[in-house]
Structure 1
């Protein structure tokens, strides 16, 4: 450097010389401004590694703060987009962005004329990036482990285990591995829908067939989504495991519905129909036996007959045949009892419409126990040993009103005016029809005449002396008249 002349001040090299006499000094437009800082000399590898953290650390190492903030905004936006949408394509965008900032950092650093290896920059970049990537990798590994547990539980049809496993998903998993967490959420949501469907099916076990309809439609909707086959089957099996119920008739109605009305694919209708076929015979038997115990004979016979018609080879077939016969006899007996109770004359009840009771003792001439109906003014005087109820009788005897029979004798009586008049005394003629109860056929058709006391010493009458009067039969006279009818 040239020394200044003696006596002149030393002037810094970047300060312009003062103007001479008569000259104006112009410092220029940039005078007084701080010169921009030159980007530090970067290590391309360090910048690339720093950017691999997705925190923009490489741009800071390269001294590019504007790029750092811009990269941070993009990174946060992409991560949040992935978190909110949980779509795989969003994760691909993040990966592409990661590769782009790494490559851009490398390229940018390589352009610097002083680019070269810097130990400190590399250590700093590794200190920032390795923990971030390690943490992200561990969280993703953990999230996929949870996803595997959920998938295994669903494959086993165990919704409870799937939900319990998904409960382990935290915010960090949703932030770093959103699609994986979302798949677990979908499994949980499907399990919740299955739980709701199971609730409807459970109500169906109480006889609410509308709930059964709803439950099966919801099962079908979940089954239509891929991967839910095992969990749907598990829900269906729990419902079908509730059959048979404690009420045989209720089980029959549910089994009928399962055979005829189950909506959905064969994966639902097949097991439902198979369970209906398995439980229906015993349920029909239990239902019929229940009706027998409450003396509801027609419904009992109908259930026994259904069992024979639909399951003729079932182990309960023999018992059902006996049940049909027993119920049929009970129906006959009820009908006979009603007709007998309604027979208060020759033209009503059993006397008008005789019917058979197959279990009645066979009618044989001789000593027969009978039921007496119709006009029972005189038959009520017969011995109790001659009578029985409809369940044990072999003969139903219908009697008509008593009419005048044969003349017994004629007697003279003085009337109220002192005159003498003749009164004829007649036996009592009663029309009798007897029906064999086992067949309902007419076996006796005659008119019996009851004898009795005639020509009493005093005759009581009103107005004029009657010309004809009936004898007064005793209990013995009644027995003598009706004895031949019942073989006595």
Structure 2
């Protein structure tokens, strides 16, 4: 009997050195499986194609070597040798094929999950890989780790994107840059798109004003000609309503200037948006509030007469009595006006009357006087009307509607005149003295300004 070449070749095809055992080549029978195990471990460790090629070359080599060593005298029949070789090699090859097919199936499942943007599916499929799968297709299984790592990155990005709901555009920019890095990896378009879609559906969670900041960033981000550009159109779609709601909330909080700016920005950027008509109507109301703030500020600072401004909510300057807010350099005689002609509140005033320093008016009469404490001291007093220069502004428009001088007459040459100036008159001199107007005199002088016929 001779050693069967076919049995030796088939036995060695198991990579366990069975062919050498059948040939009674004991050193080779021990060395061959050790080398096979070493190459298998190298395949698993390196996960490189060259390692798999090396293992295949070794497999071909031992098969051919077993064939070449056969044909010499032996102790077993060819049938017995072939049966032993088949009993060992066939199960080994079947196991190898099974794990190779399973590895391919796992890769297919991962690819399907990745194509659907399902990171949980990617991870679940990759976790099915066993040691045998890694041995049967180490590079293929290793590539799955790239997908799993990408999904881990996307999960972290998704979590950090939730931190942008407060309006943190810096953080938003950082996370979009990381999305771009993941997108650059092969086959990650759908997984990145899913994370992006989930985020775009939650942008409004932080409230309207933070949404405005986020939507503005999304709308204006530099387009990269990939799936991330969906963010630009999403931001553009979110911005009008968010801007309106933000303006509404600021108006509700009496932040009139901020609200006005929001409305103006919305109308300027989206003149044809569905929400724009509502924004225009709301802006008109808020603009009146801002005008009132401006008027109050000018009145408080004493600058209104130099910088007149309108308040559209003021009563019209019309026929009948028009209440006035008096400002300027003098408030003399104003206490003698009727209460219904005056106001200290801009919202009740039809006009703002700016007064200047009182001037001497025309002389009425000159009368002689003596000092009570010095009867020998004679002097004269010329009593003159009081002239108050005025400018009248219609508060509703902020326009100058009248300018001129109010001339107030009054009592001249009273029998007794008390001089509070503290000055000692010169004998025979004439002192210019303002009249002492009555309430009726003051009312008659100002009536043409406040009561229109």
Q: Please classify the TM superposition score into its range, dividing by the shorter chain length.
A: 0.7 to 0.9
Residue of structure 2 equivalent to 1:17:
none
Report the CA distance shift for 1:363/1:202 in structure 2 as closer, same or farther (over 3 A).
same
Distance 1:227 1:115, change over 3 A: farther
Segments of 5+ residues of structure 2 without an aligned counterpart are none
Give how far 1:113 is off: 3.9
1:310-459 → structure 2 map (5 Å cutoff): 310-343=269-302, 349-374=303-328, 375-388=330-343, 389-405=345-361, 406-407=363-364, 410=367, 412-421=369-378, 422-439=380-397, 440-452=399-411, 455=414, 457=416, 459=418
State the 1:157 CA deviation. 0.2
Q: Give the whole-Å Cα distance in 2 for the aligned partners of 1:251 and 1:359.
A: 33
Question: 197-206 or 312-321, which moves further after superposition?
Answer: 197-206
CA shift digits 1:349-370 (9 cap, x unpaired): 2222323333433322431122
Aligned residue runs from structure 1 range 8-47, under 5 A: 41-47=2-8
Q: In structure 1, what is the equivalent of residue 107 of structure 2?
A: 147
Larger proportion of helix: 2
Count of aligned pairs: 442
Distance in 2 (CA, whole Å) between partners of 1:409 and 1:277 is 81
| Of 178-187 and 299-308, the range deviating more from structure 2 | 299-308
Deviations 1:143-173 (A, max 9, x none): 3332222222111101122112222323333
- Distance change >3 Å, CA 325–CA 114, structure 1 → 2: same
SS of residue paired to 1:433: strand
Conserved? CA contact 2:216–2:236, under 8 Å: no
SS in 1 for 2:6: helix
Larger Cα-atom Rg: 1
Are residues 293 and 446 of structure 1, via their aligned partners in 2, closer, same or farther at CA, if it must alter by over 3 Å?
A: same
Q: Which secondary structure does the structure 2 equivalent of 1:278 belong to?
A: helix
For residue 198 of structure 2, the aligned residue among 230, 238, 241 is: 238
Provide structure 1 residue ranges, at least 5 long, that are not aligned to the other structure: 1-39, 344-348
Q: Output one character per residue of 1:82-102: Cα deviation in whole Å (capped at 9) or x when no partner.
A: 112212343233233223322
In structure 2, how many angstroms separate the alpha carbons of the residues matched to 1:77 and 1:298?
A: 77
How far 1:116 sits from its partner (Å)? Answer: 7.1
Question: In structure 2, do the counterparts of structure 1 residues 444 and 118 end up closer, same or farther at CA, with 3 Å as the change threshold?
Answer: same
Query: Conserved in 2, the CA contact under 8 Å of 1:162 and 1:187?
Result: yes
Q: Is the Cα–Cα contact under 8 Å of residues 221 and 232 in structure 2 kept in the other structure?
A: no
Distance in 2 (alpha carbons) for counterparts of 1:460 and 1:250: 69
Q: CA contact under 8 A between 1:43 and 1:115: conserved in structure 2? A: no
Q: Does 1:286 align with 2:242?
A: no
CA distance in 1, matches of 2:223, 2:152: 21
Larger RCO, structures 1/2 (Cα 8 Å, 6+ apart) = 2
Structure 1 partner of 2:209: 249
Shift of 1:449: 0.6
Specify whether residues 391 and 146 from structure 1 end up closer, same or farther in structure 2 by C-alpha distance, changes over 3 A only.
same
Alignment partners' CA distance in 1, 2:424 and 2:121? 107
What are the residue-to-residue correspondences of 1:178-217 with 2, within 5 Å? 178-217=138-177
Contact 2:360/2:386 (8 A) holds in 1 = yes
In terms of mean alpha carbon deviation, does 468-477 or 424-433 score higher? 468-477
Is residue 2:440 matched to residue 1:480? Answer: no
- Structure 1 residues 452 and 158: CA distance shift in structure 2, 3 A: farther
Instruction: Report the 3-state secondary structure (helix = DSSP H, G, I; strand = E; otherwise coil) of the residue aligned with 2:3.
Output: coil
Q: Does the alignment pair 1:72 with 2:43?
A: no
Q: Name whichever of 224-233 and 458-467 sits farther off.
A: 458-467
Residues of 1 paired with 2:175 and 2:158: CA distance?
7
